[in-house]
Amino acid sequence: MANKGTIGILTGGGDVPGLNPAIRAVTIRAKREGYRVIGIRRGWAGLVEIARDEKADNSANFIELTTDIVNRAGRTGGTFLHTSRTRPSHLPKANLPEHLRATYTDATNDVTPEVLKNIDFLGLDFLIPIGGDDTLSYAQRLHEEGVKVVAIPKTMDNDVPGTDYCIGFSTCVTRTIELTHRLRTSAGSHERYLVIEVFGRYAGFTALLPTMAGAADRCLIPEHPINMDQLAELATKDRNRNPSKYSVLLVSEGAVFKDVKEMSFESTEADQYGHRKLGGIGDRVAEKLKELSPIYNNGRTINVLNQRLGYLVRCGEPDALDSMVPMAFGNLALDLVLEGTSGRLVSIHNGRYDTVPITMVTGQKKIIDIDRYYNVDRLRPKYESFMHQPLFIMTGDH
């Protein structure tokens, strides 16, 4: 079959189950339609570090994808193309490849001109980045520079604007439910509060959906500040009416205490998108719960079993939905390529596949609508108005 052109595909940001099936879907369809497919390694870093010399060894930066390669990888989790949080528009001097250090000498550099030259060097007719709002915000920049971009949304937090669903979310919810139920045995054995910290920097979908599914009694989300006295009273009531004398609480990593503006961070170091690594709110909630427990438990202290799920919910193979949705997203992307349409984000809205302008990625924040979905008095989801709601109930609409 005659070569219709060349498509580049990359994965950026955190790894999630479902990335390899998406890469497979794009590649299989593209090869069938007569396209060559180049896999860019390590997200935007691969497009930054290419040496534009036919004799140079660029094997660490890109690979030509074949059906055999993607069929083997498509059954696995993570991303075989690897990933990074590189941001070419804000690249620290220390992260510059050796061959660019004489050209870019500022502390932070915009190397987009090099990325554009590297896209031309590879002969890419279309670029398909798979990532969250950080990765895709730079994809929008390339779109504005004239690159033909078709984006695929991916993130455990499910917070990419413009789509109700992002690759990785279903597996995250599935694992959170499974692991929370496993931890119940220890919490019940010791008659404790069980506090579990889960992903969710700005949006609480990964705490609210598992709670709605019965994994927890209460959940704390970034969209509503934590009142510890309210929480301690509710959690103690939950524990004391449970025959096994324990209660379960899910805490989004981005949740904050009332009258405290800053999230809980592990360190002061920020990535190239300005994000510091989150972690520790679960520890602080657990400590405060134990401290307040005698007030609501007849003077007796209740101990806490405290666990951060972290990478346990993003490692391993994808669940059924994160095997099927990436297949559909990849084919949607190829539909756009075949039409010659770019500057779009493939999406799901109200249970149906669609596409939206890529500008939606940076145009708004996707967070939980508190009035529709969260009971602030009970610190739990609202169980009402399910008629005609989409599969995952909560959309990005306001």
Please say if 157 is a catalytic residue: yes
CA distance linking residue 330 with residue 126, whole number of Å: 13
Residues 35 and 151 sit within 8 Å (Cβ to Cβ): no
CA distances from 315 to 9, 14, 81, 172 (A): 21, 11, 15, 9
CA distance linking residue 241 with residue 355, whole number of Å: 48
Catalytic residue among 125, 133, 157, 164: 157
CB atoms within 10 A of CB 374: 22
Residues 206 and 200 sit within 8 Å (Cβ to Cβ): yes
Tell me which residue of 38, 31, 45, 39 sits closest to 2, measured CA to CA: 31
CA distance linking residue 195 with residue 257, whole number of Å: 15
* 205-212 and 169-190 helices, crossing angle to 10°: 60
Residues 295 and 289 sit within 8 Å (Cβ to Cβ): no
Query: Which residues are identified as catalytic?
Result: 157
